[in-house]
């Protein structure tokens, strides 16, 4: 069954937790959809996971669209959310609406996500007014890591906690149906979740949110030694893949792959013809 805003809101009302993972390509999207994950975020984190950058800032609209199309094709049942990359919505409200429209129209995704609280209130409102669902993102916002002085917990201390809470109310008033709370102290995240009517999705924000999101490569242990405190590795897929590649490499080099059964034997020419052909050259 296709996940929609209505089904997700109904889950929240029933107290059921909502699952979300990042995904960037068709093959992974098929696996995520088969696992019945509720929502997929095509995150600008692809700059790090798929392109090898140290942060999300270099990712372009064109790249988001290419990756997003692949995910949508592979996940017919998940609710797919597209990240709006750095500087695709900050310049003006008009720019934000135009780029949000591109992401939805050119990928077939169901919603867009943009980072920031009060600073992007007007952008969120205008995008929602244009008929595009918006997921907000407050707390630690990776596109603003330089302004924060790095990837740091947000909402520590009374003044900062109040600011994050007010950001949550602001994005809700602007029309966001969902909000990612990243690296927010658990008690504050639980308080926000109890006060707002939109869906809250936590990452490094404790269990009090309506749902959780993790980067697929992190939960599958495919990110090398990179393991943030909030990540649980649910399988050692990275190690399994490395071993599989090593086994393939060894089989190629020792000649045990491919076997006759792994070859198109029936399409071979006759031995007699091949001998005659050999004799000609």
Catalytic residues: 182
Q: Rounded to an integer, what distance in angstroms lies between the CA atom of residue 26 and that of residue 37?
A: 15
Q: 137 - beta bridge partners?
A: 115, 180
Asked whether the beta carbons of 182 and 137 are under 8 A apart, the reply is yes
Q: Rounded to an integer, what distance in angstroms lies between the CA atom of residue 37 and that of residue 16?
A: 13
Q: Rounded to an integer, what distance in angstroms lies between the CA atom of residue 50 and that of residue 67?
A: 10
**How far is residue 5 from each of residues 111, 194, 250, measured CA to CA in Å?**
10, 19, 49
Q: Rounded to an integer, what distance in angstroms lies between the CA atom of residue 205 and that of residue 13?
A: 20
Non-local (6+) Cβ contacts of 152 within 8 A are 140, 183
**How far is residue 181 from each of residues 67, 167, 194, 239, 273, measured CA to CA in Å?**
24, 11, 13, 30, 70
Q: Rounded to an integer, what distance in angstroms lies between the CA atom of residue 245 and that of residue 237?
A: 12
Tell me how many degrees the CA angle 153-136-113 measures, rounded to the nearest 5.
110
Q: Rounded to an integer, what distance in angstroms lies between the CA atom of residue 8 and that of residue 25?
A: 23
């Amino acid at each position: 069954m296709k996940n929609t805003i209505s089904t997700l809101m109904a889950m929240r009302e029933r107290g059921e937790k909502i699952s979300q993972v990042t995904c960037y390509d068709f093959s992974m999207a098929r696996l995520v959809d088969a696992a019945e994950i509720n929502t997929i975020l095509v995150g600008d984190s692809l700059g790090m996971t798929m392109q090898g950058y140290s942060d999300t800032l270099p990712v372009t609209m064109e790249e988001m669209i290419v990756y997003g199309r692949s995910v949508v094709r592979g996940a017919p049942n998940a609710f797919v959310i597209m990240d709006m990359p750095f500087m695709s919505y900050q310049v003006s409200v008009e720019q934000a609406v135009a780029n949000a429209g591109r992401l939805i129209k050119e990928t077939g995704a169901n919603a867009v996500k943009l980072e920031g609280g009060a600073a992007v209130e007007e952008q969120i409102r205008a995008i929602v007014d244009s008929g595009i669902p918006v997921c907000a993102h407050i707390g630690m916002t990776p596109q603003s890591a330089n302004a924060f002085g790095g990837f740091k917990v947000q909402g520590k201390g009374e003044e900062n906690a109040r600011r994050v809470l007010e950001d949550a109310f602001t994005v809700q008033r602007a029309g966001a149906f969902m909000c990612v709370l990243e690296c927010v102290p658990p008690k504050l995240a639980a308080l926000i979740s109890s006060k707002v009517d939109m869906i809250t999705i936590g990452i490094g924000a404790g269990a009090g949110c309506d749902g959780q999101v993790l980067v697929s490569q992190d939960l599958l242990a495919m990110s090398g030694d990179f393991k943030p405190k909030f990540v649980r590795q649910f399988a050692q897929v990275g190690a399994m893949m490395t071993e599989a590649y090593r086994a393939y490499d060894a089989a190629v080099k020792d000649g045990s792959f491919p076997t006759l059964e792994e070859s198109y034997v029936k399409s071979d020419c006759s031995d007699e013809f091949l001998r005659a052909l050999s004799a000609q050259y």
